[in-house]
Structure 1
Amino acid sequence: MRAISVQQPWAFAIARGGKDVSNQPLPTAYRGPVLVYASLRVDLGACDSPLVLAAGWDPGDPLATIGAVIAVAAIEDVCSGAVLDGSCDCGPWADAEAHHWRLAGVTPLPRPVVALGKVGLWEPSATLVTEVRTMLASTAAGTG
């Protein structure tokens, strides 16, 4: 499993608002599960974005935090069409000058898991992965 760092409020939009694209400066060959980490940096200009507001942005929501894992998803594909030749139909969340890491199966966590992250796609510690998996399992079992 890997983790991906995303600035708020975009991380919140992935966890709660149906954002199915993570705009990244580089493509990746990785496909599979990722922890969605809300980085310590915030895109303040995006907090009033119509897309973010339509996604239900709520600074009081626990998943609007920074410096924590807030969801689990899977990178299922990467579209580089917008960057390479302008041919892309990845939807309203896609930035025309970025590679679009398409996310599927997004599951928000019941509460954030505070952690130290890294920029981009990174390998989380085994302890962090175990904590997230345990939380999801206990939630599924109705004990979380």
Structure 2
Amino acid sequence: MKALTLKQPFATLICLGIKDVENRSWQTAYRGKLLIHSSTKPYGNLKDSLLIEKYDHIDFEYEKLDSIEFINSAIVGEVELIDIVTDSTSPWAQQGKYHWLLKDPLLYEHPILNVKGHLNLWKFNM
């Protein structure tokens, strides 16, 4: 199955359905289910990651995330990649990027631990 590596907290936010767009500098012809892999190193402190300038316009309830464990180096869930556009109206969409439109998020109750990620889309055998 195809997998995509992201830094935390964004990997988990996608699997929770909070982040509905992934911004990339590249596109792919692939559409379908994607495993979401969290990279070894997180983006930074959770709140600091979401307060940086490009996300400060998003209405976000941080207290809801206090009980969530943000695991690194793991397949944390899955999502459906339905399209790639450049004009998404999602608050997560960044100007000048390809907007990967995501639906049907699922955060795994038991992540697949100790998985090494890769650049671009990559194949993970379950």
The reply to whether TM is greater than 0.5 is yes
Change in CA separation of 1:96 and 1:122 when aligned onto 2, cut-off 3 Å: same
4+ residue runs of structure 1 moved beyond 6 angstroms?
none
State whether residues 9 and 43 of structure 1, in contact with CA within 8 Å, keep that contact through their aligned partners in structure 2. Answer: yes
Change in CA separation of 1:74 and 1:66 when aligned onto 2, cut-off 3 Å: same
Residue segments in structure 2 that go unaligned for 5+ positions in a row: none
1:109 matched to which residue of 2?
108
Please tell me whether residue 54 in structure 1 is matched to residue 58 in structure 2: no
| C-alpha deviation, 1:48, in angstroms | 3.8
Larger Rg: 1
Give me the whole-angstrom Cα distance separating, in 2, the residues matched to 1:52 and 1:37: 25
Aligned length: 117
What code does the residue aligned with 1:112 have? P
Give me the whole-angstrom Cα distance separating, in 2, the residues matched to 1:8 and 1:2: 19
The structure carrying a bigger helix percent of its residues is 1
| C-alpha deviation, 1:120, in angstroms | 2.5
Q: Deviations over 1:3-41 (max 9, x none)?
A: 011111111211224211111110111001110111113
Q: Give the TM-score normalised by the residue count of structure 2.
A: 0.80
What code does the residue aligned with 1:122 have? W
Change in CA separation of 1:17 and 1:48 when aligned onto 2, cut-off 3 Å: farther
Change in CA separation of 1:52 and 1:73 when aligned onto 2, cut-off 3 Å: farther
Please tell me whether residue 68 in structure 1 is matched to residue 67 in structure 2: no
Give me the whole-angstrom Cα distance separating, in 2, the residues matched to 1:89 and 1:33: 20
| C-alpha deviation, 1:61, in angstroms | 2.2
Q: CA RMSD in A?
A: 2.1
SS at match of 1:11: helix
1:8 matched to which residue of 2?
8
Higher RCO (Cα < 8 Å, 6 or more apart): 2
Q: Give the TM-score normalised by the residue count of structure 1.
A: 0.71
Change in CA separation of 1:119 and 1:57 when aligned onto 2, cut-off 3 Å: farther
State whether residues 88 and 99 of structure 2, in contact with CA within 8 Å, keep that contact through their aligned partners in structure 1. Answer: no
Q: Kindly, what percent of the aligned residue pairs are identical?
A: 26
Give me the whole-angstrom Cα distance separating, in 2, the residues matched to 1:120 and 1:101: 13
1:89 matched to which residue of 2?
88
